[in-house]
Structure 1
Amino acid sequence: MRRTKKERQQLLISTINDNPFITDEELAEKFQVSVQTIRLDRLELSIPELRERIKTVAEKRFDDEVRSLPIEEVIGEIIDIELDQSAISIFDVKEEHVFQRNKIARGHHVFAQANSLAVALINDELALTAKANIHFNRSVKLNERVIAKARVIKIDENALRTYVEVTSFVNNELVFTGNFEMYRSKNH
């Protein structure tokens, strides 16, 4: 069904309000227009691009919640977090994250996303990685989006340790797993 520009733009506003994490490509498909048309609509409506929308939502939601490190020190964008329980972040692999000769992401970026998510998850002013057991299942490439999911496995109050498992995916394919033993400064 063909919509007028005004109708499409009204639907665009409500769609983005419902899901600020929707991509321009998904919007173009939904409204059966080109990605360029969506970008022009967003520009006209002063709706920021996805990366800025994610950042804004994350800052609003998590600035008060994340205690162990400033939100801007997290590698990737946190999109959901429940302290001492679970968290999710998104990391878009850009030119500066890859080896130039083969366009494969440097492993330390994928690790840093998982590690900083494990730190952010700890409900304490101080959280440090005591030990990590990691496994790269496959290479991550330029322009891929890595979604990391962290969950607390166990909290050992006596040892001041929290055990966190992080799994990272590209298009639902497992690319990285990490088990982190996190030191925390206090019992909670």
Structure 2
Amino acid sequence: MRRRVSTERSGEERRQELLRLVRENPLLTDEELGRALGVSVPTVRLDRLRLGVPPQPERARQLAGVALGDLRSLSEADVVGDLVEVERGRRARSLLRTSPRLAFLNRNLIRGHHLFGQANSLAVAVVDADEVVTASARVRFLRPVYVGAVVEAEAKVRQVRRGPREKWWVDVESRVGSEPVLRGSFLLAVLDRARGTDTGAGVDPKTRG
């Protein structure tokens, strides 16, 4: 009897720890939760069911619904990946779930322009303005990404220059798990609606591999 009580307490403590982890980071997968808790993925799924915690894709969609309400500089259709957090003028996060359609033909390697598109659209999303274009970009691809990986990108505003030729400098890092796969620095220019032109910057991004 004592062993059964002890096991139940251990299970209850584990479930409370699972709740804490999910509250801190709703994007954790069952595999990541299993590693953090030292249990198998089926155990994590059973614990989630008992606690009423939805699976990671559903949690991401819930976050995305909130984040999309904060978009200003582009539409939902323009975002590459799933937007999960936007704090306009400061930071933003998105997830890109990779599939064979994003890979090179007959290979499991994800094409770089999809990773660039995720980072670029996230950099635009964080800008607190109505119309924004990419003036330039410096990007480093740090390691290959393969089909099935979930790429999490985070954008942070580094500098803003206000005025009639307003510009934003945004840094983006993309990761698979804890491993960085891309780092980029983007210069975004805010369009001048009154003149119907941009603020003096080009539109096409320049990449550096």
Q: Residue 178 of structure 1 is aligned with which of 176, 181, 184?
A: 184
Ranges in structure 2 where 5+ consecutive residues have no aligned partner: 1-5, 194-209
1:27 equivalenced with 2:27 (yes/no): no
Higher deviation after alignment, 174-183 or 27-36: 27-36
Q: CA deviation at 1:181?
A: 1.9
Distance in 2 between residues matched to 1:31 and 1:179, nearest whole Å: 36
Q: In the comparison of the two structures, how many residue pairs are matched?
A: 186
Q: CA deviation at 1:119?
A: 0.9
Ranges in structure 1 where 5+ consecutive residues have no aligned partner: none
Contact 2:153-2:174 at 8 Å conserved across structures:
yes
Q: TM-score, normalised by structure 1?
A: 0.78
Residue identity matched to 1:109:
H
Higher deviation after alignment, 45-54 or 97-106: 45-54
1:4-38 Cα offsets, whole Å, 9 max, x none, are: 8x948964883445542222123334555532343
Structure 1 counterpart of 2:198: none
1:161 equivalenced with 2:167 (yes/no): yes
Higher deviation after alignment, 168-177 or 30-39: 30-39
Distance in 2 between residues matched to 1:70 and 1:182, nearest whole Å: 16
Structure 2 counterpart of 1:103: 108
1:1-150 map, 5 Å: 2-3=7-8, 7=12, 11=16, 14-15=19-20, 16-17=22-23, 19-29=25-35, 33-40=39-46, 42=48, 47-60=53-66, 62-71=67-76, 73-150=78-155
1:84-103 Cα offsets, whole Å, 9 max, x none, are: 22223232322322224331
Larger Rg: 2
Q: TM-score, normalised by structure 2?
A: 0.71
Q: Aligned-pair RMSD on alpha carbons?
A: 3.1
Residue identity matched to 1:184:
V
